[in-house]
Amino acid sequence: MKIFIAALLAFVVSCLAQDPPKTYTPDEINAAVDRGLAWIARGQAADGTFGRGGAKETSGIWALCGMAFLARGHLPGSEPYGKNIERIITKLAEVQREDGYLGTRDGKMYSHCISTLFLSEVSGMVKPEIQQVIDKTLPKALKLILDAQAVAKDPDHSGGWRYQPDSRDSDLSCSGWALMALRSARLNGAQVPPSAIKKAVDYIIRRQDENQGCFGYQNKNQYAVTLTGAGILCLSLCGEHGNPAIGKAARFLMEKYPALPEQQYCFYGLYYTAQGLFQLGGREWAEFSRWMYDSWIPKQHADGYWERGENDRFYQTAMVILAFTVPYRLLPIYQRDETVDEKP
């Protein structure tokens, strides 16, 4: 017993003697974001696409890169990345199908919804000739999202979205991007029916496990660590701040977020968790954001990108930047109800 106690004390002393976790300053966070953006910009082709293979053919990745530039405050028509942003807008308009779908062979409705969100976010920031391109492209893209939601589905899937415009089932992940696109467009003056938002909210609430508090992909706990932030975000964006579902989800997520790096879709989860907990503000956001920067800045490669496994570097780097820049609030979709930080 004495040997055990001595060993335990030695372990405790050793842990206490270690340096505390690094807490990054705002300047260091900005520097990491800027390294990432510079790497993304270097990888853009003249036609507005990025990289090779799947990334080059996936409109959603182009749009994520475009939103990453915007989230740091870089605008079309300005240096150093204005041309990068404009090339993405032009390319999305070029690949739009007659039915309004924004994409080529990869990404499916995920890419379409992300691309629609980007066009909505950048609308109003561009010179007149590019705004004309957006004004022609965006309404058709929004109509396709609304039409896809209206496809007849069984009651459990009603109100959501899935891989194809005519899919008869839904999932929380694709539905989150679709709802953000509609919410962004509505903020920008588009005629998005309130009934579409209501149906989407009802779908999202049905994805929650009321006992655990988590939200799941198609059932109530599939990919819960990755997607619970999406549930918080979607409800918050739709004015459901007082919904008990958000509090339950926050309690689940505050216990589980350290497991994000181990998840299959960790970059996706990082983005949604940052978005969702920023909407909550207060202790939850302060604790998570400190962990996020301290955990993920060291994972950045010297060239500026983030990478894990075989997923695309442009996608992964853009997602980290979008998570890091949530508190900058330079994108309309990053806004929140400021009363969330007020104590009763």
CA distance 180 to 332: 10
DSSP 39-95: HHHHTB-TTS-BSSTTGGG-HHHHHHHHHHHHHTT--TTSTTTHHHHHHHHHHHHHH
Strand locations in the chain (E): none
Query: Residue 20: what pLDDT?
Result: 44
Instruction: Tell me the one-letter amino acid at 168.
Output: R
Q: Which residues pair with 171 in a beta bridge?
A: 161
Query: Residue 15: what pLDDT?
Result: 35
pTM for the whole thing?
0.90
Query: Residue 134: what pLDDT?
Result: 97
CA distance 269 to 227: 6
Q: Where in the chain is the domain with CATH 1.50.10.20?
A: 26-206
Q: What is the mean pLDDT of each run of 10 residues along the chain (344 residues)?
A: 40 36 89 98 96 85 97 95 98 95 81 97 95 97 97 96 95 96 92 94 95 95 96 91 92 96 93 94 95 96 90 93 92 60 39
For the record, the structure tokens of 306 come out as 């983030």
Query: Residue 339: what pLDDT?
Result: 40
Query: Residue 104: what pLDDT?
Result: 73
Kindly indicate whether the domain formed by 26-206 is annotated with CATH number 1.10.10.60: no
